Each structure stands twice: as structure tokens, then as C-alpha cells.
């Protein structure tokens, strides 16, 4: 009976370690999200710079074909950037949700195991 409890305690400890690893992974994903947001902010600064340049060109008396090409290039770049940003945000959110789900499953398993250990202990005490 003691061996059984030792096995269960070992299982509980393993689950606790998994829970700790899941928490670490979740922290890593959150750090990636923060880093991504910083990169987005920096990139938006660059985009604003190019938009100002484009507006300056559009308001100056230059070849309208050149201006239109530049405006089109900026639009294409903005669209591509927005798509990449949305894709990265989506990936990070999915990863965070997956890790939170794993974390919840591990917590539930740990709680169930604790309850079983307590019940086994009570049975031993009542039979012992």
C-alpha cells in the first residue's frame, strides 16, 4: 500500500513539473507577444515615415506617374505588413490558448490525483 502511495506521489510530482514547464512556455509566448508588439510599433514608425514622404511627394509638383507608383508601393507594403502582423498575432494567440489549455488539463489532473491520494489515505486509516 505504501508503494502505491509512493507511485502516486511520484506521478503527482511529475505532473507538477509538467505544470511548471507549461507555465514557463506560457511566459515565453507572452514575452514573444511583447517583443512582437514592440516590433510592430517600430515598424509602424517606419510606415508613418514613408507615408509622410509619399504625402510630401504627392503635394510637390513632380511627375504624377512617379508619385502614383510610390503611393502604390506604399499601399502594397502596408497591406503586406498588415497581413504579416495579423498572421503573427493569430499564431501567438493560438499558442497562448494551447498552452493555457495544457496548463488547465495538468492542473485538473493534479487536483484529481491529490483527491485520490487523500481518499486512499482515509481508506487506509479507516481500515488500519
Q: Could you report the per-residue pLDDT of 44-99, keeping only the tens digit for each?
A: 888 788 777 777 776 766 667 777 787 788 788 888 888 888 888 888 888 888 88
Contact 126, 3 (CB under 8 A): no
Contact 110, 16 (CB under 8 A): yes
Place of cell 511566459: 27
Instruction: Give Cα 7 distance to the centre of its chain.
Output: 34
Place of cell 481508506: 123
pTM, 2 dp: 0.52
Inform me whether the pLDDT recorded for 114 exceeds 80.
yes
Amino acid at each position: 500500500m505504501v508503494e502505491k502511495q509512493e507511485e502516486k506521489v511520484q506521478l503527482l510530482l511529475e505532473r507538477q513539473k509538467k505544470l511548471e514547464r507549461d507555465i514557463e512556455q506560457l511566459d515565453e509566448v507572452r514575452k514573444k507577444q511583447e517583443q512582437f508588439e514592440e516590433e510592430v510599433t517600430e515598424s509602424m514608425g517606419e510606415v508613418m515615415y514613408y507615408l509622410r514622404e509619399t504625402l510630401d511627394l504627392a503635394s510637390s509638383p513632380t511627375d504624377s506617374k512617379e508619385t502614383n507608383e510610390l503611393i502604390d508601393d506604399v499601399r502594397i507594403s502596408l497591406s503586406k505588413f498588415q497581413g504579416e502582423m495579423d498572421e503573427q498575432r493569430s499564431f501567438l494567440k493560438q499558442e497562448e490558448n494551447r498552452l493555457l489549455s495544457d496548463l488547465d488539463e495538468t492542473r485538473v489532473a493534479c487536483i484529481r490525483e491529490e483527491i485520490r491520494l487523500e481518499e486512499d489515505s482515509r481508506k487506509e486509516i479507516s481500515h488500519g
